[in-house]
Structure 1
Amino acid sequence: MSDFIQELRDLHTLVVHQRDRSADDLLQQLNRIGCNFENAWPLPEVLQKKFDLVFIDVTDQPTSVIKSFLNSSGHEPPTVIAVIGYENPSTLDSIFEIGAHALLTKPVRAASVLSGMLMARRYWAEQIRFQKDLSKLRDRLGNLQKINDAKFILMRHHSIDEKGAYAVIRKQAMAKRTTTFEIAQSIINADGILRNIGDI
């Protein structure tokens, strides 16, 4: 547990909440935990890159404005903990739409802050990992499609089967010490140039 708490202490935390009893209780608890935090109100136009975790009061704030703020840093999205004063369909829709990783209800209870931060960071980390894995998978599928396109070009021009076409690509990749994707892309580019010449 001490490792998790130390990780939270290393984060730059922003509390977007007007200074009232709830904000004071939240800031006091963050201070007890040992977090590096700042308070801002009203909602800033731009989220500074240094902030890793954001507590944000979503009550009576347009969802589109909140989303714009959270996406404005041009950096990896922060962990978001929504702070609400009451539960209704509109508020809950807003929480989902802004992509909050955890929820804190008012009045703020000290016992819920630490657990909320821990759960939010874990959910955030899993989400980031999932996005990276998904990006890698999309890249891999894109590469496989390029290789398939290149194979069909070779099959069309050299009257060889699919296995033979792939063997050509692989042999060229080994000879040039590059990837099969790079060779496939070169074949596709060359085919495009030849087609354009033929149209002149």
Structure 2
Amino acid sequence: MWPLPKTLPDKFDLVFLDVTDQSAQRLTSFLNSNEKEPTIIAIIGYENPSVLDVIFEIGAHAVLTKPVRAAGVLSSMLMARRYQQEQQRFKKELKKVREKLDNVQKVNDAKFILMRHRGITERDAYDLIRKQAMTKRTTTTEIAQSIINAESILSKMGDT
């Protein structure tokens, strides 16, 4: 489509963008106008630092140079789709790892709170959290968050 519309259409899998005379901010706002992340193939007329910077800023998955020839389009499309799918998979895995790390940190914080208040070992604190989670049929993370919240409330009550 030309000129570049304000928003990305709803149904799409792949977007070819001529980035030669476009600002990265305008292209980024266009690409972020829809929840679905497109596979982006940048089309450039020449290579220079500012054009390459735009390519990186918009997160292009492949690059084609002008004049576009049929010989390179299909392979660029396939490689761009594959690269984007791998990126999405890595983002999901990273999100899971960060959530897991956050949950481990919450359990550790709760263990230290119990250790400090009850004078018990780290293992006993964890066993106590685990036992409560099993009794209440919930996760150790939820019990840990409850302990952290309760300690926060109790410490604020002591300040007043």
Task: With the length of structure 2 as denominator, give the TM-score of the two structures.
Answer: 0.96
Per-residue deviation, residues 142-196 of structure 1 (Å, max 9, x unmatched): 1111001000110011110111100000111111111110110011111111112
Residue aligned with 2:64, SS? strand
Hey, what does 1:106 align to over in structure 2? Answer: 66
Hey, what does 1:195 align to over in structure 2? Answer: 155
CA distance in 2, matches of 1:153, 1:169: 11
RMSD between aligned residues:
1.0
CA distance in 1, matches of 2:13, 2:157: 53
* Equivalent residues in 2 for 1:14-25, closer than 5 Å: none
Hey, what does 2:110 align to over in structure 1? Answer: 150
Identity of aligned residues (%): 69
Q: Give the CA deviation at 1:121.
A: 0.2
CA distance in 2, matches of 1:199, 1:62: 53
Hey, what does 1:174 align to over in structure 2? Answer: 134
Residue aligned with 2:43, SS? strand
Per-residue deviation, residues 64-94 of structure 1 (Å, max 9, x unmatched): 1111111111x13110000111122221121
1:89 correspondence with 2:49: yes
Residue aligned with 1:178, SS? coil
Q: Find 2:15's aligned residue among 32, 38, 54.
A: 54
Q: Give the CA deviation at 1:113.
A: 1.1
Hey, what does 1:7 align to over in structure 2? Answer: none
**Residue type matched to 2:54 in 1?**
S
CA distance in 1, matches of 2:9, 2:134: 46
**Residue type matched to 2:107 in 1?**
I
Unaligned runs of 5+ in 1: 1-39
Q: Give the CA deviation at 1:46.
A: 1.2
CA distance in 2, matches of 1:125, 1:105: 23
Residue aligned with 1:140, SS? helix
* Equivalent residues in 2 for 1:12-51, closer than 5 Å: 40-51=1-12
Hey, what does 1:16 align to over in structure 2? Answer: none
**Residue type matched to 1:197 in 2?**
M
CA distance in 1, matches of 2:108, 2:147: 11
Query: How many residues end up aligned between the 2 structures?
Result: 160
1:128 correspondence with 2:88: yes
CA distance in 2, matches of 1:88, 1:158: 65
Hey, what does 1:119 align to over in structure 2? Answer: 79
**Residue type matched to 1:106 in 2?**
K
Unaligned runs of 5+ in 2: none
